[in-house]
Amino acid sequence: MRLQKLLIEKDFDIRNYTSFKIGGKIKEIYFPESLDDLKDLPAASVVVGNLSNTLVSSYGVDFPVFSTSHLNEIKIDKTLDQVQSDKITVIAGAGVKGPKLSQTVAENGLSGLEFMIGFPGSIGGEVYMNAGAHGQSVSDVFKSAIVKGEGKNFIKLTKEDMNFSYRHSVCQDKRYIVLQAEFELIKDNIDKIKQRMAENLEFRRSHQPSLALPNCGSVFKNPDGESAGKLLDSCGIKELKIGGARVWENHANFIVNDNNATSTDVLKLMCEMKNRVKEKYNISLKPEICFLGHKDKEEEKLCQILYQQ
């Protein structure tokens, strides 16, 4: 139904909309189609994107959720000044999926987003976490973003404002919601751009599980100077199972939903992975996966272990 110009779904079964194929019902989910729709966003609500990097509780979500999936417009600046320059500005809504944006700019002969071709997530989340791959990251081509904080006003942040670092931006510190991002890309030969994209896709296929095996991407961030995958591999983590969740056999930093896994199964497996690395190397791995939703007492304890500062 549509209420006050917002598409709203109640008791929304989110499971099949997540990359992990895990999650209960969301009490209320809103689908804004413009920035104006978000001006009166309730204080108790949470904004989500493509849920590709999120473990949603099997117990559901009992607070309002806003999805940016309908904020999916792409604009390529083709003013005279831009056309005569080597650099072109591209604006994307938070709900635009990474591969869609990568393909769109490639067709227009614009380079800089080839690394996004294999990403399952959307632009809002990728800017929020400064996503990257193949030696590139969002911060390399980022120009500005429109974000929303706790008030009703939107804020425009420049690259300097974002305080980018590895898998980090100021949005995580200030709890800003990324609604729209602006990138500065370079003109290049379309065939060369597509060749780089093809190479990136091939690398992803050989190093990461297909989404046919439901997963949420890398489970833990790489510690300084280390590879989380190599640390976990050396601890004998591959193919370890808890409930319906299993560590992928080809890379120890991925968990796949092998057999109707629950959020508790995944959290238990993450804790076991974290504990083994801590015991062997005294390194405390930090999750790259976010958790969303209601927790029972067991999940509360597991999240305290995983997400403690």
Q: In three state form, how does the secondary structure of the chain look?
A: CEECCEEEEEEEECHHHCCCCCCCEEEEEEECCCHHHHCCCCCCCEEECCCCCEEECCCCECCCEEECCCCCCEEECCCHHHHCCCEEEEEEECCCEHHHHHHHHHHCCEECCHHHHHCCCEHHHHHHCCCEECCEEHHHHEEEEEEECCCCCEEEEEHHHHCCECCECHHHHHCCEEEEEEEEEEECCHHHHHHHHHHHHHHHHHHCCCCCCCEEEECECCCCCCCHHHHHHHCCCCCCEECCEEECCCCCCEEEECCCCCHHHHHHHHHHHHHHHHHHHCCCCCECCEEECCCCHHHHHHHHHHHCC
- Residues designated catalytic: 167, 218, 288
pLDDT tens by residue, the chain, 309 residues: 444 556 788 999 999 989 999 999 999 998 988 888 877 666 657 888 888 889 999 999 998 898 999 999 999 987 756 666 788 999 999 999 999 999 999 999 999 999 999 888 899 999 999 998 888 999 999 999 999 887 667 899 999 999 999 889 999 999 898 999 999 999 999 999 999 999 999 988 878 887 688 999 899 999 999 999 999 999 999 989 999 999 999 999 999 999 999 999 999 999 999 999 999 999 999 999 999 999 999 999 999 999 985
CATH entry 3.90.78.10 includes domain 215-307? yes
Instruction: Give me the CATH topology for the region 74-207.
Output: 3.30.465
Domain spanning 2-67: which CATH class is it, in words?
alpha beta
Any idea where the domains of the chain sit in the sequence?
2-67, 74-207, 215-307
